[in-house]
Every structure is written in C-alpha cells, then in structure tokens.
Structure 1
Amino acid sequence: MKARVAVIGSAEFIERTKSVADQVADIELDFYMYQQPQEALQILKQLLPCDAVFLSGALPYYFSKDYHEQLQIPVFYLVQDEMTVASSLLAALYHKKISVERISIDLFDASIVSNVLTAVDIEVTPMHVMDYEHFLQKDLYDFNQLVSFHQSLWENGEIDFAITSVHAVYNQLHHLGIPVMRMADPKTALIRGLQNAKEKAEYRKSQASQAAVGYISIHSVLQRKKIESFAHAIHATAQEMNDSLFVLYCTRGDIEALSSDVLLQLFTETEETAVGFGYGVSIKEAHKNAMIALSFAEKDQENSCCYILTDSKDLLGPFPHKQKQQKLVNNHPDLYLIAQKAKLSPANLSKMIEFVKNKQIHHFTSADLADYLQVTRRSAERMIKKLSDHGYIQIVGEEMTYQQGRPRALYKLNIPIFF
C-alpha cells in the first residue's frame, strides 16, 4: 500500500518536489501551497487524510508546532545542512563570479555556513550571515527583519548578492531590485526527505495496527453500561471477565487516538475505576502488559486513572490527570551490571533512574521514592540500602519537615542517568 504524504511549501518548493517525486516508490503526494510560512498552521487544519506531513523548512514547522505536535501522524521538515549551503555558495561563486565576502546569507542556523567554509579552509571577514533560530525561540520572527538585513547591506555597498532560505524574502528582495537567489535544496535532499516521509508513515501505520488489550476494574455492576459505551468510543470489543473486571480488545492506533475527554467521561461516570492498556506484538504479550498497567492504576493514589505499558516496556500515565514515563525494562549493559551487583531487579533500577530524571532537584527521601514507585516506604528503603551498600547511593543531608520525630535522610544517586 502506498504512503500518502501531504507536502506543504511555497510554489517553488512544490515544483522542485514534483520533479523528484517519481524517484520514490510507493508514495502518493498531496500538495498544499502557501504564500507565507505562517499559513502552514491553517493549512494543517484543512488537510485531507494522509499518513505523514512534509514541510518545506524550519519556519512552517515552527509556526505550526503547537498544533502538529497533537497530531497522530509524523510531521517533519526539510532540514538545511552543509550540502544545501555548499551547493548555494558554489552556484553563486561560479555563475555570478562573486567573492564570498560580498554575499549576504540568511538561514536557520548560521553555524552551517561556518562549517562549510572551515571544511575548505576559507576564512572570510566580515561574513554577512543572519540566522533566524533565535527569533523563533523568542517568538520575535518577522520576515521584514531578514529583508532589512540584506537591503541595508546592499544599500551600503557591502554586498553584491544575497542568498535567502525564505521564499517570501526572495520575492521582496527581487521586487526591490537586489540580486538574490533562493537557497538551493539539492535534489538528493528532497528525495531523501520524501523517502524519510514514506518510512515514517509506514512505521507509524505498523505501530497503529499493533495489538492492544485493556483491563478495566470497576466497583459496581451498575457501571457495566458505561464500560460498553467506552468500548464503543474506542472501537474495542469488550468481554466481561467477572462482576468487577472487563477486558477490551482493540489496536494501538485506537488507544493513541483516544481523546482525554472520552477518558474523563468514563472516570466521571464511574467511581474508583482503574484502567490498564498494554501493547504487544502478540495478543498474549498485550494481555501481560495490560495486567501490569492495571496493577499500577489500582495502586495509584488517584481515585480513577489509566496507565499504558508499551511493547518496549515504557509505562505511560497516569491519564488523564497527568503523564509521566517510566522504563520498566533495562537493556543497557552498564546498568545491568549495577543491578546484578546490588542484587536489584533491572526493572526497579530503571524506574529509580526515571524517578531521578523526572525530579527537578536530584536529592530525595525514601518517602519521595516510595510515592513515585507506588510501593511501601519499607520497600523503597530496601532498594536504597542495596544501592547504598555498593556506593551507588549516598546520604547528602537530612530534612525535618515535622516538629516531632526523626529527621528524614536525603539521598543522592551516584549512577549516570543519561544513556
């Protein structure tokens, strides 16, 4: 089955993409043209069904970021790299016979120009380069700033030619009579971008079709109708295991498309409801992961919540109140050796590392750890002692949050956490 990709960009970008489309097999393209990159947001809201979105550059990607991050399909853009800049400079130097120091350039990341010139031992002072990455970070972007950058250099006699990566800037400079060319996206980069879009779409579809099983634990037989309504909303088949437990069968795509409103409605209409979903390459694996996820939901301090355990043992939840991610499997060799030495399960070590990653302050008490892992205080203290005996945890202080009782020890993890 062909992957359907929505291509969003300027007229020139769309024409260049059309010229290489036949070099990527099993792909269908829908083209959406804008006049300004800011229009990408509105275009995204009007897309026909597709499997992936391919944007012409960083600007349309940035302007639509808040929206497309909520989509269930991959969205990415054609990245400017050294090959793009080198091709553009070579075209200007060869066809226009202009020296590098007489060229002004705008692009997303100015360091790319430096990398290209350094690679061929060219030193240019001054180098007229302006990037717009810092504008985007501060929400100050205005393409007129880029136009003014080139225009002032031209009017002051400091440049003879401009290279821009923004099509709207090209149109404006051309209108002003300033010699200008667009940043040249090599055909190989476009082909690579389309190929990447196809692969991402295929991977996303394969994930969406993965088996998913859900367990719902309820405390009243009167809630059965609500379970049936919830199952229908996520296109799942429901079976009653007993008076207080239901099992749902669906796909990962159904769960990932689940809106928080549907989940909130379930929890609003049913009291003390625990939900666990599991993904797997087989129904058996999905069942096992769903039961683990359900156990986390039943232990959670929230009255009603949902956890999801993926096939890679990532634990997501609790939904819909908040979301954190824990890794319930440890496949890094160094961490595996630490777990063996401390006689601690690799899964527990992984969860402890995720706990430290998620904390803004890396000192913690046994109560903090117990609360995060949803275990008893004694269990958390046993884990801490095992790691402490081998120097993987140390006491760094104590806190006295109550007027009575003993101070609580503050611990620090002595294990690298960014693997």
Structure 2
Amino acid sequence: MYKINVFTAKRSLSWVQQLEKIKPAFCKFHYYAYNDNAHLHELLEKHLDGGDGALFSGQIPYFFAKSYFQEVTVPMHYFDISERDFYRTVTELFYEKKIAMNRIAIDFCYEENGYLGIHEWSIGEKPFLFSQTMSEFASSDIIDKAAEWHIQLHNENKVELSFTRIAEIRERLALQNIPFIAFYPSLYAMQLTLDHFVKQLQIRQLNQNKVVVVHILIPIDKSNLDDLEYRQIALYKAILDFKQLYACSFIVHREASFLAIITTYQQFLSTTDQYTHCQLVDFLNDKLSFPVKIGWGIGDSLIESQEFAKKAATLCSSKETQGYIIENTREIGPLLYATKLQFDDEKQQYLKTLSTTYDIPLLQLQKIDAMLEKLTTTIVSGELLSTHLGITVRSANRILKQLHEKNLAHELPSNTSSTRGRPKKYYQITLTNKDIN
C-alpha cells in the first residue's frame, strides 16, 4: 500500500478529492489543505516525507516544496491542465462569446507544457502569457505577481478575459470586477498524472529493494603476514562501530583478506550521500592505521552485486582509503576522504570522448580528474600523482609525460635550487576546455 500525501490550497480541495474516484486499490491518499504559504510550510514540515510520495494541486505548492525542502527525496508531482481540458473550454468560448485569442491573458502556458499548442495555430493572434517558463512559479511572491499582471492588463484594456489556474487570486480578480475563467484539471488529466506518478513509485520501490554489496579489501604486507590478523580485527571492529553509530542495516561477513557487507539500496544512498560521498571512507580513514579499498556493487541479483563490488574495490588506490561504485555498466568514483564527488553525466561523457580521442584509459582520466578536484589545483608532480592514484612514481611520471605529449598537460619551468639531485618536474594538467569535436 502506497501512502501518498496530497497538498492543496483549500479553494482547490473539492476538485482534488476527485482522486478518490480513480485511486488504485494499493494507494491511500492523505489530504492537507493550506490557507497560505506559512500554513503550507507547516504542513510540509510535518508530512512531506511521511509517505511514499507527494502530489500537489498545482505548480505553486510544488515549487514551494522543492525550494524549501530540498533534502526530501520522496517522489513529487503536480496536477496540470491538459491540452484536452484547455481546448474544450477555448472552443466553447470562441463559438459562444466570439472572443479573439489576442484578448485573453493566460497564466498557465509556458515552454514546459509546450504552451498547450497555442503557438501552432494562433499566429498573429497570440494571447498574453504570464511567463515563458514554469520556473517563474518558484518565486515566493508568485501569487501577488500573477494577480497584479492580470489586473494591469485589464486596466490597460489590453484583454477582455483572464484564464487562471491559481486558486488564490480568484477572489482578488472578482473584487476588481475582472472577468475570468478558473481552470482546473479534469478527471481525465488527473488520471494521466496519477498513472505516471504510480509508475515512479513502483520504479523507486524496485530500486530500493535491490541488494547492495560492499567489498572491503585489506592490503597485505608480504613481509609481515602476522600483521594481517591485526588488520582484520581492527577493520571488523571499526565496521561494527560504524554500524552502531549510524544505525546501519549491515550484514557483515569476514574473510582472511577482505570483509563483505550486504545492505539495502536505501542504506547505500544514505551512506554514500546519493552516490557523492562515502561516510565509510571518512570513518575508516580516521579509525584505521592502514588504508583499505571499499567497493560498492549494485546489480540485479546478489551474485551480480558481489562481482561488481569486488571489481569496484580493485579500482581504488592502495595508498589511501578510497571507495568506488559499480552499478551495472556505470563506474563512479573515486570516493575520497572528506570530498564530495561532483558526479556529472555531461562531464563523464566529455571524459569518455577525451579517452577515445586521445587513446587514454577512461578510468585513468576519471581518477586524475577526481584528484584535481580534491586538491583544487591543476599543478602536480609525479610524486603527488603517485600518492593519489596508488601507483609508483615511475608510472606516474610516465602518465604525465604521455599527457604532455598529447597536449593535455604542460611542463612548468623548474625552479633552480642549491639542493642536490634532479629537480622535480611539475605539470599543469588541462583536461577541460579541449576542442575534441
């Protein structure tokens, strides 16, 4: 049974409650009607994340929730006017009252709903539109702005009729003797929205029911194998401490050189801050005297998740505690200590193109890019690259030389000093802003 909280202006409650006529048997609606923004904020604070999802009577309460409760992750959607609703009213209006389209003011046509198709046939007779984009409804004073817009157009005799979706301005228009038609979604439009929203809830539930596996590799010092037992015990204790501190739903399994954890997708999202930062990396980095490799695996089965987790762990550096995530075909990381990963699909696509163009392993570019973000500098030496990538200094210098040859890094002039030995070479890496078209 899905519990869906529905937030609506009191003036819209009657049509919103038509949901009861079309609700699926596995949905239960809880209605919260507000008087003003302060009341809406109070209701959202109490009930927004108390269900499986939230529906809103329109764009205004929807954007209000998005703006003031950004940390809430439950699915949200709003009811809107369909083209079918719009044209049924418009057609009747044209035939009965003969009002021209360019004498009408509309506050619910914008780019995001395709202007309800009015630009396709109203050439030369376009109505007055309140906004070209729905983002205008995120404004805190949207109700006053919309009301003043309608009133001004009528006072200037530019329009004869207003179309509005905003329940809160109807009384103000009536007091000004402004003729208007109040629109609200038909049962048909509400059904379309509800069907789409239920699919969102079902997909989310499937994702949350996924089993996630964490594979934590313990580095083995071949010259001191007796130290392995100490490291295993220290890691196991640290995981138990983490589990208790954060009340995690972890099932922990110990092996000689690694530790495996089985958990839920919801727990994974919480522990990795929605794929961007791993609390476990921070905690183990602070608690352990040795680095570990943390691999997260998310697949369609337990066995697949285990394989992904093992592979993800091997992607981590051996010189500092790191995390990596593999979800089906997607590799995300490295998750570094005290660093939030700015995972960006557009950027990842750019790195993939860069990898293909310059014949450089994608994972190598991703690690270098993450390192530069962590260090907040583009100037590195072989030693620095070696430390953060978990490779030898010789390998790091070879990578820098290859980047230099491919014009992705520039060697900086060496500073002369009186110290003996060869001076360090520094390179400025320039992965971004490359013309690779």
Q: TM-score, normalised by structure 2?
A: 0.71
Q: What is the match of residue 71 of structure 1?
A: 72
Partner Cα separation in structure 2 for residue 86 and residue 371 of structure 1: 65
C-alpha distance 325-382 of structure 1, shift in aligned 2 (>3 A): farther
Q: What is the match of residue 116 of structure 1?
A: 117
By how many angstroms is 1:314 displaced?
3.6
Q: Partner of 1:185: helix, strand, or coil?
A: coil
Q: Is 1:196 paired with 2:208?
A: no
Partner Cα separation in structure 1 for residue 210 and residue 81 of structure 2: 34
Q: Partner of 2:130: helix, strand, or coil?
A: strand
C-alpha distance 202-401 of structure 1, shift in aligned 2 (>3 A): farther
Contact 2:250/2:262 (8 A) holds in 1: yes
Contact 1:10/1:167 (8 A) holds in 2: yes
1:12-411 correspondence to structure 2 within 5 Å: 13-23=12-22, 25-28=24-27, 29-36=29-36, 39-47=39-47, 49-66=50-67, 68-78=69-79, 85-87=86-88, 89-90=90-91, 92-94=93-95, 96-107=97-108, 109=110, 116-124=117-125, 127-131=127-131, 133=134, 135=136, 139=139, 141-216=141-216, 219=231, 221-222=233-234, 224-231=236-243, 233-242=247-256, 245-258=258-271, 263=280, 266-267=283-284, 270-272=287-289, 274=292, 275-299=294-318, 301=320, 304=321, 306-316=323-333, 318=335, 321-324=338-341, 339=356, 351=366, 394=407, 399-400=412-413, 408=427, 411=430
Residue type at the aligned position of 2:2: A
Contact 1:399/1:410 (8 A) holds in 2: no
C-alpha distance 71-102 of structure 1, shift in aligned 2 (>3 A): same
Partner Cα separation in structure 2 for residue 320 and residue 41 of structure 1: 36
By how many angstroms is 1:37 displaced?
5.6
Contact 2:324/2:331 (8 A) holds in 1: no
C-alpha distance 61-381 of structure 1, shift in aligned 2 (>3 A): farther
Residue type at the aligned position of 1:3: Y
Partner Cα separation in structure 2 for residue 102 and residue 407 of structure 1: 68
By how many angstroms is 1:221 displaced?
3.0
C-alpha distance 49-97 of structure 1, shift in aligned 2 (>3 A): same
By how many angstroms is 1:199 displaced?
0.8
Residue type at the aligned position of 1:177: N
Give the aligned CA root-mean-square deviation in angstroms: 4.7
Partner Cα separation in structure 2 for residue 346 and residue 317 of structure 1: 13
C-alpha distance 24-312 of structure 1, shift in aligned 2 (>3 A): farther
Partner Cα separation in structure 1 for residue 269 and residue 23 of structure 2: 29
Partner Cα separation in structure 2 for residue 352 and residue 299 of structure 1: 13
Partner Cα separation in structure 2 for residue 264 and residue 207 of structure 1: 24
Q: TM-score, normalised by structure 1?
A: 0.73
C-alpha distance 288-396 of structure 1, shift in aligned 2 (>3 A): closer
1:107-149 CA deviation, whole Å, 9 max, x = no partner?
A: 3737868673321144227x43222756567x56342122111
C-alpha distance 76-348 of structure 1, shift in aligned 2 (>3 A): farther
- Highest Rg: 1 or 2? 2
Q: Partner of 2:296: helix, strand, or coil?
A: strand
Residue type at the aligned position of 1:271: L
Contact 1:316/1:325 (8 A) holds in 2: no
1:346-385 CA deviation, whole Å, 9 max, x = no partner?
A: 6657x489879989x9x99897998886666765776788
Contact 2:215/2:258 (8 A) holds in 1: yes
By how many angstroms is 1:411 displaced?
4.9
C-alpha distance 297-136 of structure 1, shift in aligned 2 (>3 A): farther
By how many angstroms is 1:238 displaced?
1.1
Partner Cα separation in structure 2 for residue 60 and residue 321 of structure 1: 36
Query: Across the two proteins, how many residue pairs are aligned to each other?
Result: 402
Contact 2:109/2:116 (8 A) holds in 1: no
C-alpha distance 208-375 of structure 1, shift in aligned 2 (>3 A): farther
Q: What is the match of residue 5 of structure 1?
A: 4
Partner Cα separation in structure 1 for residue 390 and residue 86 of structure 2: 52
Contact 2:296/2:312 (8 A) holds in 1: yes
